[in-house]
Chains A and B, each alone.
Chain A
Amino acid sequence: MKHDIELKVNGELYKLRIETKRTLLEVLREQLGLTGTKEMCNKGDCGGCTVILDGRAILACMMLALEADGKEVVTIEGLAGEGYRLHPLQKAFVEFGAIQCGYCTPGFIMAAKALLDKNPDPSEDQIKESISNNICRCTGYVQIVEAIQAAAQEMGGAQ
């Protein structure tokens, strides 16, 4: 069965016809070509497909696109400013060496953004907690935590 939905993604409104069974992840990647959101385990175990839906970090593989009807989604592609100006989190991830193979990176950055949007000055434990659903096999998480701390500081400084 097909459904017509409206989805706001990175500030742009899309009118889409989707099958009932399609997940938000499939629609983002395959229908909208937003492949920055990664497919990793496809069953909610790894955080690789984390996006922000109405201000909350969610797993795009665990939500039917139909459930996102009328909602607002921010993906990794929606973070940078004009001319690929990096968001402080993206900048810090690059500068602190927090990106190795980079496949899990978008999920981590989105989880961290959801945290910083709510809590601009998180403790180290709060940072770790916010990314504890995300699996990284390369970095050992240390430089990821450092990058989020640095970004929090930079974003706080800008306010």
Chain B
Amino acid sequence: MSRESLIGKSLPRIGSVDKALGRAKYATDMVLPGMLYAKMVRSPYPHARIVSIDTSEAEKLPGVKAVVTGINDTPRGGVFGIIAHTKDHILMPYEKVRYVGEEVAAAAAIDEDTAEAAVERIKVEYEQLPYVLNAEDAVKEGAPLVHDHRPGNLAARYLVNEGDVEDALKNSDYVWEKRFTCDVASHGLPEPFTAIASYEPSGKFNLWMQTQCPFQTRQGLSNCLKVPPSDIRLHSLPMGGAHGGRSDTPPGAFIACLLSRKAGRPVQAKMSREEVEDCMRDKAAKVWTIKVGFKKDGTITGRDIRMLLEAGAYASSAIVELWVPLLIDEVLWRAPHYRYYAELIYTNKTISSMMRTRSHVGPMSMDVCFDQMSEVLGMDPIELRLKNAVLPNEVVPSKSIVTSTGLRESIVMATEKAGWKEKRGKMGPNRGIGVGSGNMQSMFYMGFRSGSTSFIKFNDDGSCTVFTGNCDLGQGNQTMFTQIASEELGIDMKDIKLCYGDTELCYQDPGNYSMSATVISANAVKKAAQDAKRRLLEVAGDILDVSWEEVEMRGKEFWVKRRIGKGRGVKIGEVCRTAFKRGKPIFGLGDYRARVDYSDFSMDIKEPYHEKTYGQKVTAYSFGTTTAEVEVDPGTGKVKVERIVAVNDCGTVLNPMLVTGNMHGQLNFMLGQGLTERNVWDPKTGKKLTSSFRTYKVPTANEIPHIETYFLGIPDPDGPYGAKEGSLGFGCGLHGAIANAIHDATGVWPYEVPITSDKMLKLLEEEGKK
């Protein structure tokens, strides 16, 4: 009997036994012989010129082995930015600081206490400058310039303008217009940022640190240290959370490298919880203004969107959030005439980056729109959605083709499972139900990094090692890669070892950047396994004296197909050893390139994302719909989500238990950002006031509602076995579902996320006055 397929089986996460035992070693657990401990000198001001730095007192302190400053040690011309146009971040600046907490100097010493004492003795003289703390102020005439050469604090902009949206809106029967906002959110990563750098006198840097995309991190370090990428090796480790917040090249890793080179010893740079929140990454705040034109029959005629996005001090990967809301919006709901214009604006705040919840305020705006317009048009709100939902193989405004979508099916299934029709408007006082849809990309365009290469080597005992440059943030990528290799090779998962995320040993890979692990990295592993399998069959065929097509693998043995169980079977170990003897060991090589246009960003365009925005941008899109049932406490304004039904269109489900767990995680992130999580800055000092879990309220087990999850199982043409991103897209509509449920419960419409108790009370008060 041939083997039962592993695709669609619930398999536990590889690595979780070590984690359960407390044996998994994270960066924070690592100690190297002779390791020194680093502490940073951070700017107390949101915006200031660095006049001078005096390190002499620190250097005299016994136990201090190296001191670095931006002025003395940062290589000139070394700048971080994820695309050429937004290279704006000198990882330890020497001219000015742009947010409270920015690194200006650091010391490495024999222990943390000595390092702390050293940085306290470093004297920095600043000339304070006026600062600006939100995007709407930053674009005003005369606002302080965060970067002197960026007028209007404009970091970057993005435009898609298809058809004639103004004319379309003018000729529409109805035009719906609203303004939505969302505050800056935190990743709230459990493991404090840690980088251990060890410089070898030969010129090589070894690094143990958390990163969700090792090759991008290495490239950033290479640019900033001004050393070739091949002189930097990132080792792979388990890491305590990422969620988009470990995508960029962090100053802490760069400074650890400088200190290690100077001291000639390994250096650990670890941040406290507060340092992580103040000085690592946030998710950008948005102001989202949208106009939607409708015909009397409910057809959307056009959509006009403007977004102001707050980068914080540097463009970083917040630039990605400049176009991701377009990628989400344009593939959800059809719009023959379409304009999307977004600006990324600098402010003197913590740097923003990507986050798994993505552009929640975008999908939310359309779900609120459908519910409001259904009353104006006298149409069923679900019918209105179904009428305007993008269908498979449709071309969207920016000319991407949506090859698979189960959006309509997900709306129908979620509302049916939730009993939406029976419950809406009938749940009693202060209780209500709402629906919202979302989507996500499986790999958007990333230049030549839009592809992954995987390698498999076979050992003499018939086991093999799979190499992939991707890594595992906890979502289960190790399991996915091993499962797929096992499926293709016909070898048990326990006989397949994985070497991942090591920049020295593995080929280039996008990493966990743009949800590329399933469609890109796993497809590369699949192809490598197919390549290796062919070589195994060829050698086995030689031994059995038949052509490879006549050979079949059963268990750990190869047989002639016509005579399985009869005569001779060749063990896989023998096949591998025979191949070694011939001087041609068994290996497999697989490469998968994303199906996207404009994969070459070396083109000489000043603003690539502004001037050249048309073409296939995404290989596969995942979709889904959630419903939320809420209860609003009119006394406190507290919104409690009691039940969520979630339907996921993630293509073929590779591993239901793991995808389900990832879905719970996404709903948890969305719930927190929808209701309680917000960052606040002190306008008088420019200092963040929400740098701890006490002040930044993430959900606990007590806040988690009853959750039901379902899969559509519509295969995608490009994904491995039809799979696509499965953890994020389905849940991105939850804020729309919550907003609509709040309206169903109370009659008020929230337009600002998070919908905190104080905001709800205000809305209820205004409603009461009507």
CB within 8 Å of B: which residues of A?
29, 34-43, 45-46, 48, 75-77, 79-80, 84, 86, 90-91, 93-106, 109, 127-129, 131-145
Contact = CB atoms under 8 A, between A and B. Distances in A.
A140 B356 CA distance: 14
4 residue pairs, one from A and one from B, having the closest CB atoms: A36-B22, A103-B240, A102-B19, A140-B664
B25 interface: yes
30 contacts: A35-B22, A39-B192, A41-B693, A46-B693, A79-B21, A86-B17, A86-B20, A90-B17, A90-B20, A93-B20, A94-B20, A96-B657, A97-B12, A97-B657, A99-B16, A99-B474, A100-B476, A100-B661, A100-B665, A101-B240, A102-B19, A104-B190, A128-B701, A135-B698, A136-B190, A137-B188, A137-B241, A137-B668, A139-B665, A140-B661
A99 B19 contact: yes
Interface string B480-496: 00000000000000000
A103 B240 CA distance: 5
A106 B660 CA distance: 22
Nearest to B670: A140
B394 to A, nearest CB: 33
Contacts of B21: 36, 76-77, 79-80, 84, 86, 90
Contacts of B22: 34-37, 75-77, 106
Which of B662, B700, B701, B702 gathers most chain A CB within 10 Å? B701
Contact of B704 (A98, A106, A140): A140
Nearest to A92: B20
B13 interface: yes
A91 B188 CA distance: 27
B665 A137 contact: yes
A109 B702 CA distance: 17
Contacts of A40: 190-192, 240, 273
A141 B704 contact: yes
A108 to B, nearest CB: 9
A39 B473 CA distance: 18
A141 B13 contact: no
B272 A42 contact: yes
Which of B20, B657, B665 gathers most chain A CB within 10 Å? B20
Nearest to B696: A45
B15 interface: yes
A135 B693 contact: yes
Given A101-B190, A103-B191, A43 B273 contact: yes
B20 A131 contact: no
Given A38-B191, A102-B15, A109 B20 contact: yes
B29 interface: yes
Contacts of A132: 700-702
Contacts of A37: 22
Interface in B261-313: 272-273
Nearest to B189: A137
Given A97-B661, A132-B702, 7 more contacts: A38-B191, A94-B13, A100-B13, A103-B241, A105-B19, A128-B702, A138-B243
Nearest to B270: A39
A41 B664 contact: no
B20 A101 contact: no
B239 interface: yes
B648 interface: no
A77 B25 CA distance: 13
A102 B16 contact: yes
B13 A99 contact: yes
A104 B661 CA distance: 15
A80 B475 CA distance: 25
A94 B12 contact: yes
Contacts of B665: 100, 137-140
Contacts of A97: 10, 12-13, 657-658, 660-661
Nearest to B657: A97
B640 to A, nearest CB: 14
A141 B26 contact: no
Contact of B190 (A35, A75, A137): A137
Contacts of A95: 12
Contacts of A136: 190, 668
A90 to B, nearest CB: 4
B582 interface: no
A77 B657 CA distance: 27
Which of B13, B28, B661 gathers most chain A CB within 10 Å? B661
A132 B476 CA distance: 25
B194 to A, nearest CB: 10
Nearest to B655: A97
B692 A143 contact: no
B417 interface: no
Nearest to A110: B22
Contacts of B770: none
Contacts of A39: 28, 192
Nearest to A76: B22
Which of A34, A76, A79, A103 gathers most chain B CB within 10 Å? A103
Contacts of B19: 99, 102, 105
A1 to B, nearest CB: 14
A140 B20 contact: no
Contacts of A75: 22
